[in-house]
Structure 1
């Protein structure tokens, strides 16, 4: 039987309830509680796990919560909380923070600065602004970083590359700009073998001597009691869907989502070194140039989305080696040439994976390719090698205009400094104007006389 609580949590004098001082966990998630968060919770110093998610709490996070020094798990997600995250909130043993789907605003404060124990930071769906702070690399144990659907701007910081425990990164639906850091390709995306919060069990304490060891081993088979019912759940968009991961499955999940931003420049070939990645989404940006052939090394990838960019060139034929690929999209780019051979996983992709590229051809697109338009592995490799040295039309026009202005300024400066050259220049211009004038007058008289004679 499920019990649902509603109403407000009243003030409690902690000193009158001795059991609160030994209480290690409160889980009131998925109820109909509302009002402001109770400040007295901050006076229960023994709390290790606090879960009040999916309620109707409003107002700001009380400063009293900064006194929860033993806190390891903190979940206030899916409420109506507002204000900023208190800068004093930095429990020394905090591992999991879930504050998604609230109305928190302002920049990321120093709340989590130097939290070397922090494993999960989930701040999705708020109104946070500014850039990702450079001190993000002080979170040395960070494995899951979810900042989706906020108002972050600026460049994707290279400090993320120093977080060697990162396995899931979601920066989608923000306003990040500039290039994708090539050093992201250095991330090892390790499997999460520890610090995942899941339902834990314990045995009742028994002093066992040699005569009772056999009976104790038998009791271990059926006498476990739950230590905590809290289990961490991570939500991540992949394979064109929204999935929840927990337990052992979460241990194996790896992915990077940079979609729906204003990222520019080329896709770093170094991302092909992410051999353990399962999902990579770079869609809905302003990325240019070619698709790196190094993506053929992403042997564990299951979802690759490069749609809605300005990518050009051919789709590398080497991608057919990705035997784990389930979802693939390069739709709405400027790609050309033949699509990869329809073998292995690429034999399962439909027309929607390629639509919006008028110069692509292939049987699945109902558009035949001439022999001269067929894809060439050699040309793709050459494009990859030279992709960093290519200069697009925009760069050429800008450099030409700058050079032209520099030349004009140089001429004016020289004429201003040297009076002799200035007089010579004006004399030359005067002679040219006089010559042009007499030439036009002479032509006019000749034409008039010729007309009279006729």
Structure 2
């Protein structure tokens, strides 16, 4: 009889330990349903998703102090030993199941660079994951629209939906993401206009919207975003003029507007900006003369004004610039002598090709 009591006590202790080390059944069930919608045939990363404790040794899963699932981080391009041992990047098909929305304590959802994950973004994510901070699904085949209520993710700091097949417009609610720092919608099939009040995203440091089918004009409210260092709107169908306010932004260092349908003249503020050091406004329909506003503070690692309708001469003040790395003025209607000295003494003829009547080194003599 005594032996029976001991074994019962041990059993109770074992059961207690078991429950203490198990994650909530609801979280575990949600993860297993999430796993069931995906197929990862080569690395076996989901083999670790076994047993009752999804907080320990489940690949890519971590929990908060209350043992609720807080992070799912699954990257198909990683330095993890699993990838190095296999000598390959990841490949996964299937889709992101709506069961992920049952993980209401999730702060990080990364399912990135798996190449073949398709389907749509679960519509329940914005309303069901109130404390989500990072949402990164770059490098898949995800289609459909960005959820209309994406703006309700009030704590989101990173939204990376790049390199997918998303369609439709950028939801107007996106401007309500008051904590957003990094926005990347590059290389999708998004249409419509950039929300005119994008300037409400006052915490944002990077706005990457290139390689879509966006139309309309560049919102001047971008200039209201004090921290914004990188704007890339290249390879879209954006028209109208370039807002002069962009040249007054205090920390903007990279502005890529190439391969659009922009017209009008180049704002002098862009070329006289002391902070801007990468400016690519090539392959548009910009016209007028090149502003003569360069000086000792001018520092461009890239200044590409090629394939436009620029006229007049090359400003002599360019030779007073502190540094000009890559300069491309080709395929315009420029005329007259190329200034002498730096940076012109290290540039090749291709930087000036196909203008109306430029002359001087490195082209023909005047």
Pairwise same-fold verdict (TM > 0.5): yes
* 1:317-343 residue CA offsets vs partner (Å, 9 max, x unmatched): 1111223221000001000001121x2
> 1:111 Cα deviation (Å)?
4.4
TM alignment of 1:7-406, pairs within 5 A: 19=55, 21-30=67-76, 31-55=90-114, 56-66=116-126, 67-89=128-150, 90-189=152-251, 254-296=253-295, 299-341=298-340, 343-365=341-363, 367-369=364-366
- Counterparts of 2:148 and 2:173 in 1: how far apart (Å)? 4
- Counterparts of 1:86 and 1:9 in 2: how far apart (Å)? 29
Asked if structure 1 preserves the Cα contact closer than 8 Å seen for 2:193 and 2:217, the reply is yes
Q: How many residues align?
A: 297
Asked if structure 2 preserves the Cα contact closer than 8 Å seen for 1:323 and 1:344, the reply is no
Asked if structure 2 preserves the Cα contact closer than 8 Å seen for 1:136 and 1:160, the reply is yes
Structure 2 residues not aligned, in runs of 5+: 1-38, 47-51, 56-62, 77-89
Structure 2 counterpart SS, 1:320: helix
- Counterparts of 1:27 and 1:138 in 2: how far apart (Å)? 29
> 1:81 Cα deviation (Å)?
0.6
Aligned alpha-carbon RMSD (Å): 2.2
| Matched residue, 1:6 | 41
Asked if structure 1 preserves the Cα contact closer than 8 Å seen for 2:297 and 2:322, the reply is no
- Counterparts of 1:292 and 1:79 in 2: how far apart (Å)? 43
Asked if structure 2 preserves the Cα contact closer than 8 Å seen for 1:46 and 1:70, the reply is yes
- Counterparts of 1:161 and 1:277 in 2: how far apart (Å)? 13
- Counterparts of 1:184 and 1:258 in 2: how far apart (Å)? 12
Assess, with a 3 A threshold, how the Cα gap between structure 1 residues 327 and 50 changes in structure 2: closer, same or farther.
same
Asked if structure 2 preserves the Cα contact closer than 8 Å seen for 1:86 and 1:111, the reply is no
> 1:5 Cα deviation (Å)?
4.2
| Matched residue, 2:21 | none
Structure 2 counterpart SS, 1:189: coil
Structure 2 counterpart SS, 1:140: coil
Asked if structure 2 preserves the Cα contact closer than 8 Å seen for 1:302 and 1:327, the reply is yes
Structure 1 counterpart SS, 2:299: coil
Asked if structure 2 preserves the Cα contact closer than 8 Å seen for 1:273 and 1:297, the reply is no
- Counterparts of 1:318 and 1:135 in 2: how far apart (Å)? 36
Asked if structure 2 preserves the Cα contact closer than 8 Å seen for 1:275 and 1:297, the reply is no
Structure 2 counterpart SS, 1:40: helix
* 1:86-113 residue CA offsets vs partner (Å, 9 max, x unmatched): 1223322111111111110101113423
> 1:64 Cα deviation (Å)?
2.7
- Counterparts of 2:53 and 2:93 in 1: how far apart (Å)? 23
Assess, with a 3 A threshold, how the Cα gap between structure 1 residues 51 and 40 changes in structure 2: closer, same or farther.
same
- Counterparts of 1:54 and 1:292 in 2: how far apart (Å)? 43
Q: State TM-score, norm by structure 2.
A: 0.76
Structure 1 counterpart SS, 2:143: strand
> 1:140 Cα deviation (Å)?
0.9
Assess, with a 3 A threshold, how the Cα gap between structure 1 residues 95 and 265 changes in structure 2: closer, same or farther.
same
* 1:348-400 residue CA offsets vs partner (Å, 9 max, x unmatched): 101010000130000311x222xxxxxxxxxxxxxxxxxxxxxxxxxxxxxxx
